[in-house]
Chain A
């Protein structure tokens, strides 16, 4: 992973930033003194602003010097106050995994704020830090936390029994995670093709393709084109679509799409080997091979 530490991030309603000493008062008021917020946490509610201040001064603020320290104050833009925290509570470089922990003041529950924060943090770790796995755990008695994880697209992986301790005692922990491959699939689904039609100077309709559409088509086509080549490809595709639009002159209502001229049907045969073992010759063509198999770049636990 490429550790870059706690950087400021923005979402629709929130700013995720580093804590400052001046935050102590709001932290105390908004969540750190509330036993109900701390019920499923591993630390006791704080008893005074000074206590918060000393933790900030002695531990949290100095820790920001470490590049693999990730601890954000969740500031609600509307009131310009921190309302909770979100952090990487475990960082495992070997398997490129990060575990996230978070809490938020009671007044701010059920407004989708934590979902907004967690979603952005997952993106940050996946895209900017290069994590392959971002996970989080919650006490099974605190299902609200699991809902946040689910909404952020993390998948439930299982429950570890008697695996944690919080202010309620020893507890069972439900584990949720998102992994890199899923992130890439989501990206494809988020993007979609968009073509707009405009009227050119000569009165004809012209197709205009956005850069995002080209990026999306690049993902579908598994082609990486950039710079001049991308611009040329876009121009070519727009011209082709203009040309293809000619088909719209034809009324095809009631006409069945014809994929093959003759009827085609599946051809079956017995599932027996007829061509012998050609694996040695087949493997000779492989760009990279090992122990009778095709070698590809490491895909799991990179």
Chain B
């Protein structure tokens, strides 16, 4: 039985009904990993033994009736910036090449309480800084649809692992589009929840005011079920939000009647690939056919989101990454003179070029004399962007647009021009600045046989509207399996 071609919820049901067992499904995942890793390279760490052992325990708990959620016994892969107790956690960086956390992230603990079986950690752009997974210190991940293409990033390993059907689902993190863009490139579905919905405790921070953990899976149903497990107030994250409406699976209804969907004209201008444009507008037409009220509008300020984002994210990164100094964990330079030189050398040798670039920029925009001109200016622009969205959501339930301007670029083409690479985040980044939820799901294929992704954005705490509309759209289109997973 090709277990890995099923969704997480389907597998959970099959385990519950006794048609298979957690160890059997876990074994299937490990076999898929063994078969596909060499070509796709989604993983940094695979813990086969631990997964089999854990699957046995979960199976006993399921049989004893101790756990019965929809994900019980289903294997999962975690982005390698999520701390996992006793399991290597590297952020795909040399500076954390040997770091074994002493605790697990709250999101991981929530999954484990629901009976998840962690099989390993997925590759990513180093410290989540990048859009292609090529900045990983452990080599690039390949796109399961075409091995000469990037999977997107920074959660490229998680998205590729799902698309290559090495695991039924994975967790990613999204600071500027890092779940939604690679989902689009890999033809899978992912949600970036409202800021504060999923605890960031144990997520190795990049831009703390922007980071959110979210699910990546084959369909909207999985994503809703996973998010339901992940969400919850956590006193260990001071930005965690108390909210009651986290029964996301209740929103899985095929009904968009009367739903008002705005299409920002600003998202369909220069720079957008014509095939992507066509596919996303076709998706809008589908939703209209199903009874949604779809209209174009001007969102405004779109071109200011990226510069504001890079100031804010890099500022926060320069502070967050100050902790990597070669003292308590991770890489320490072999040769140095004195303490300060040890810090400098460990950091300079341990971080890759993109990470250093962002730390430098962040240190600069926070330095005295430039703090107001750059950092505070960016925070003011962030307030304006938030207001533009507030205005939009006073008129529309949802915003629909592309997840990325193009389909997946070729490997090795993006890193030479950072600004050009940053421009690829134009449709995803403002969502993080405004704290909004967004869902990315496949809506077509281009002439090269690469998936096209669309994105639905909602107002804060309106994940259910996103899920409902995405689920409805999904009913019009069958899931396509990637070539790496044996699909067409």
Interchain nearest-CB distance for A237 vs B (Å): 6
A 244-288 to B, binary, CB cutoff 8 A, 1 in contact else 0: 111111101001111111101111010000010010011011111
Of A14-22, A151-159, A171-179, A294-302, the one with at least 4 CB within 8 A of chain B: A294-302
Centre residue among B330, B332, B380, B460 by max chain A CB count within 10 A: B380
- With beta carbons under 8 angstroms apart, the residue of B209, B235, B307, B341 that contacts A260 is B209
Query: Whose C-beta in chain B lies nearest to the C-beta of A281?
Result: B102
Q: How many CB-defined contacts (below 8 Å) exist between A and B?
A: 177
Shortest beta-carbon distance from A252 to chain B in Å = 4
Q: What CA separation (Å) do A250 and B306 show in the bound complex?
A: 14
Q: Is A222 a contact of B347 with CB atoms below 8 Å?
A: yes
The verdict on B340 contacting chain A, using a C-beta distance below 8 Å, is yes
Closest A residue to B241 by CB, please name it: A262
Q: How far is the CA of A203 from the CA of B334 in the complex (A)?
A: 48
Q: How far is the CB of B250 from chain A (nearest CB, A)?
A: 24
Query: What chain A residues lie within 8 Å of B241 (beta carbons)?
Result: 262
Which residue of A195, A221, A261 contacts B360 across the interface (Cβ within 8 Å)?
Answer: A221
Q: State A269–B363 Cα separation when bound (angstroms).
A: 32
Contacts A216-B367, A258-B380, A294-B328 given; indicate if A247 touches B418 (C-beta within 8 A).
Answer: no
Is B386 an interface position by the 8 A CB rule? yes
Write the B66-88 contact mask toward A (1 if CB under 8 angstroms, else 0): 00000000000000000000000
Contacts A221-B318, A223-B347, A287-B330 given; indicate if A248 touches B377 (C-beta within 8 A): yes
CB of A240 within 8 A of chain B? Answer: yes
B residues in contact with A44, CB < 8 Å: none
Contacts of B304 in A (CB 8 A): 246-247, 249-250
Q: Is the CB of B325 within 8 A of A222?
A: yes
User: Chain B 406-441 against A: per-residue CB contact (8 Å), 1 yes, 0 no?
Assistant: 000000000000110000000000000011000000
Whether A243 sits at the interface, judged by CB under 8 Å, is: yes
Q: Which of A184-217 contact B (CB under 8 A)?
A: 184, 192-193, 195, 213-214, 216-217
Bound-complex Cα distance A68 to B367 (A): 40
Taking a contact as CB atoms under 8 Å apart, the answer to whether A193 and B364 are in contact is yes
B382 CB-CB contact with A under 8 Å: yes
Complex contact A287–B367 (CB within 8 A): no
Please state if B331 and A287 are interface contacts (CB–CB under 8 Å): yes
Cβ < 8 Å to A, chain B residues 299-320: 301, 303-304, 306-308, 310-311, 318
Q: Which of B339-376 contact A (CB under 8 A)?
A: 339-345, 347-348, 351, 353, 356-357, 359-370, 374, 376
Q: Which chain B residue shows the least CB distance to A132? A: B338
Cβ B384 vs Cβ A240 within 8 A: no
Q: Say whether A259 contacts B209, CB under 8 Å.
A: yes
List the A side residues contacting B370 at CB < 8 Å: 193, 195
Contact A258 B382 (CB under 8 A): yes
Q: A243-B419, A261-B434, A262-B241 are in contact. Are A217 and B307 (CB under 8 A)?
A: no
Q: Taking the complex as formed, is B383 at the interface, i.e. its CB lies under 8 A from any CB of chain A?
A: yes
Interface size on A, residues (CB 8 A): 59
Q: Digitize A214-236: 1 where CB-to-B-CB distance is under 8 Å, 0 elsewhere.
A: 10111011111100010011001
User: Which of B102, B238, B322, B347 touches A264 (beta carbons < 8 Å)?
Assistant: B238
Partner of A266, one of B196, B238, B418: B238
Cβ contacts under 8 Å, B327 to chain A: 286-287, 294, 296
Q: For A262, list chain B residues within 8 Å (CB).
A: 195-196, 239, 241, 435, 460
CB distance from A60 to the nearest CB of B (A): 34
Closest chain B residue to A194 by CB distance?
Answer: B369
Interfacial chain A residues near B374, Cβ < 8 Å: 244
Whether A192 touches B308, Cβ cut-off 8 Å, given contacts A257-B376, A299-B339, is no
Chain A's closest residue to B377 (CB) is A247
Asked whether any CB of chain A lies closer than 8 Å to the CB of B393, the reply is no
Residue of A with least CB distance to B234: A267
> Cβ of B301: which chain A residues have Cβ within 8 Å of it?
250
Q: Tell me, in angstroms, the Cα distance from A223 to B338 when the chains sit together.
A: 15
Interface residues of B in 95-126 (CB under 8 A from A): 98-100, 102-103
In the bound complex, what is the Cα–Cα distance between A269 and B234 (angstroms)? 13
Distance of A38 Cα from B473 Cα, bound (Å): 95
Residue of A nearest to B209 (CB): A260
Chain B residue contacts of A264, Cβ below 8 A? 238-239
B14 CB-CB contact with A under 8 Å: no
Q: Is the CB of A223 within 8 A of B307?
A: no
Q: Name the residue of chain A whose CB is nearest to the CB of B359.
A: A221
Contact call A224/B345, Cβ cutoff below 8 A: yes
Any chain B CB within 8 A of the CB of A239? yes
Q: Mark A30-54, 1 if CB is under 8 A from B, else 0.
A: 0000000000000000000000000
Task: Determine whether the beta carbon of B235 is less than 8 Å from that of A247.
Answer: no
B147: interface (CB < 8 Å): no
State the Cβ distance, B193 to closest chain A Cβ, in Å: 13
Residues of A within 8 A of B98 (CB): 285
B336 at the interface (CB under 8 A from A): yes
| Known A237-B364, A286-B329: A222·B303 in contact at CB below 8 Å | no
Looking at A217, A232, A298, which has the most chain B CB atoms within 10 Å of its CB? A217
Known: A222-B344, A286-B328. Contact between A217 and B239, CB under 8 A? no
Q: 6 interchain pairs (CB within 8 A)?
A: A193-B370, A195-B370, A223-B360, A245-B307, A252-B383, A262-B460
Residues of A within 8 A of B (CB): 184, 192-193, 195, 213-214, 216-218, 220-225, 229, 232-233, 236-237, 239-240, 243-250, 252, 255-262, 264-267, 269, 275, 278, 281-282, 284-288, 294, 296-299, 302
Known: A216-B367, A221-B347, A258-B379. 4 other contacts (CB 8 A): A239-B419, A262-B460, A269-B235, A297-B339
Minimum-distance CB pairs A-B, first 10: A261-B435, A257-B379, A287-B332, A285-B329, A252-B380, A258-B383, A221-B363, A220-B363, A224-B344, A255-B380
